[in-house]
Amino acid sequence: MPTNVPTTPVIRSNVPGSFAWGVFHERHPKLIQQVLDALPYGPAERAAVERLLTESTTGVLEPLGAEALDAAQWLEWGEGLWGKPWGEAPFLWAESYFYRRLLDAIGYFRSGAWQGVDPFAPFKSAELAGAAVDDELAALSKLDGLPETRRAEALLSSALWGNRADLGFQITAETGGTDASDLVTDDSELLWAELVRAEGGRVCIVADNAGRELLPDLVLIDHLLASGLAAQVVLYVKPQPYYVSDATMADVLAAVERLRTAPTEAAKAVGERLWHALNIGVLVVRTHPFFCAPLPFHDMPTDLRAEFTGAAMTILKGDLNYRRLVGDQLWAPTTSFTETAGHFPSPVAALRTLKSDVIVGVDAATVARLDSTGTPWRTDGRHAVIQVHPRA
């Protein structure tokens, strides 16, 4: 690259007052407290968690212990960063390592009583069991009466706003609910056109959160399969607990069960169809260690790249997947989505509510309108994008 071309700054968490700084210095202390309150960890785990909080806010990056199975992998990923303050590492890297170290602190990988115990399970279970989910599943019945196109739009919208996790089918089964201006880029027509163009292919969905986000994702998957738009759907989940509510295989099973045991026929039927789809392999759940790696998708390993290659479409859910797709950098918001996401090995769509500074693909007039509101529109979770990089 010529030396006079300015590069887009990578986001770091060392600027007091910035969003990234707030994640480490304001959100993580609260999160740690919630984790310690939710399960009765003993003195060793509690002390290790407190040490992690101190290290990640005022200390320097310490590598994993040599006994960890992924110690060598992390040493390589963190080359040049060890011994430096956490805030000097890229925000994406540091946040990912924080969750890896949290699992270390609570003994998730060590042989012992806490091995394999998801520290976030109490939050995920409470959400899935909650009355809000009952209402959302009940609202699903209303979608059956809608014309096909409207129904498809409603399902897409639910999967999108499910990422905000305070909305769901209720929004879409009724007359709207979100302000259209909340959707700052809307490529939904292009997304449906691409799905129709590649009808009968394999659609990959890279999940984000469990519970109230995963449920509408599963309903959308059911629609893609039932309509024939997809012959097969591959749902990618995290191999281990991550970013609090990210979906793992256990969360998929819990969500399918929630659907199958729902009080309404419409929701039950979705649950039964998904169970059958899993049985016959038209719905496949997969994972890969790279989904918990601290790197952008640009750097995905060859085996994962090969999995996405040939997919009719890959739909990436949520904020973190977006950051990993376009790069966790302070792009000018008008930078084209294709320029930043075109490296992905298949056509790709992002369904994301905005919860961090990164944003691309927004037209200048919309950026000016949003900036003029004086609200933190990039991070307050009130806005969303549907963005598509189609087949050439």
Ligand X SMILES: O=P(O)(O)OC[C@H]1O[C@](O)(CO)[C@@H](O)[C@@H]1O
The binding site for ligand X (CB under 6 A) comprises 23, 95, 163, 208-209, 243, 318-320, 323, 355-356
CA neighbor of 95 nearest in space, from 10, 1, 172: 10
CB of 321 to ligand X, least distance (A): 6
Q: Which of residues 26 and 363 has its CB atom nearest to ligand X in the complex? A: 26
Beta strands in 119-260 (DSSP E): 183-186, 201-206, 230-237
Q: Which of residues 230 and 320 has its CB atom nearest to ligand X in the complex? A: 320
The DSSP bridge pattern shows strands 348-353 and 384-389 to be antiparallel
CB of 208 to ligand X, least distance (A): 5
86-to-77, 106, 297 alpha-carbon distances in Å: 14, 20, 22
In contact, 317 and 213? CB cutoff 8 Å: yes
Exposure string for 126-164, b = 16+ CB within 10 A, e = fewer: ebbeeebbeebbbbbebbeeeeeeebbbbbbbbbbbbbb
DSSP-derived secondary structure for 70-97: THHHHHHHTTTTTTSBGGGSBHHHHHHH
Question: Which residues, in sequence order, are CB contacts of 233 under 8 Å at separation 6+?
Answer: 202, 203, 204, 205, 221, 224, 225, 277, 282, 283, 284
Q: Which of residues 211 and 318 has its CB atom nearest to ligand X in the complex? A: 318
CB of 90 to ligand X, least distance (A): 12
CB of 120 to ligand X, least distance (A): 12
Q: Which of residues 85 and 90 has its CB atom nearest to ligand X in the complex? A: 90
Tell me which DSSP letter residue 180 carries.
G
> How remote is the C-alpha of 291 from its chain's centroid?
10
Q: Which of residues 155 and 320 has its CB atom nearest to ligand X in the complex? A: 320
CB of 111 to ligand X, least distance (A): 30
β partners of residue 329: 10
CB of 389 to ligand X, least distance (A): 19
CB of 123 to ligand X, least distance (A): 13
Beta strands in the chain (DSSP E): 183-186, 201-206, 230-237, 283-287, 313-317, 348-353, 384-389
* Residue 32 three-state SS: helix
Q: Which of residues 127 and 208 has its CB atom nearest to ligand X in the complex? A: 208
Alpha carbon distance 324, 109 (integer Å): 25
CB of 25 to ligand X, least distance (A): 12
β partners of residue 385: 185, 352
Q: Which of residues 99 and 308 has its CB atom nearest to ligand X in the complex? A: 99
CB of 213 to ligand X, least distance (A): 8
CB of 95 to ligand X, least distance (A): 6
Q: Which of residues 45 and 357 has its CB atom nearest to ligand X in the complex? A: 357
Q: Which of residues 230 and 316 has its CB atom nearest to ligand X in the complex? A: 316
Question: Which residues, in sequence order, are CB contacts of 297 under 8 Å at separation 6+?
Answer: 321, 324, 325, 343, 344
Q: Which of residues 210 and 312 has its CB atom nearest to ligand X in the complex? A: 210
Element (H, E) at 322: helix 318-326
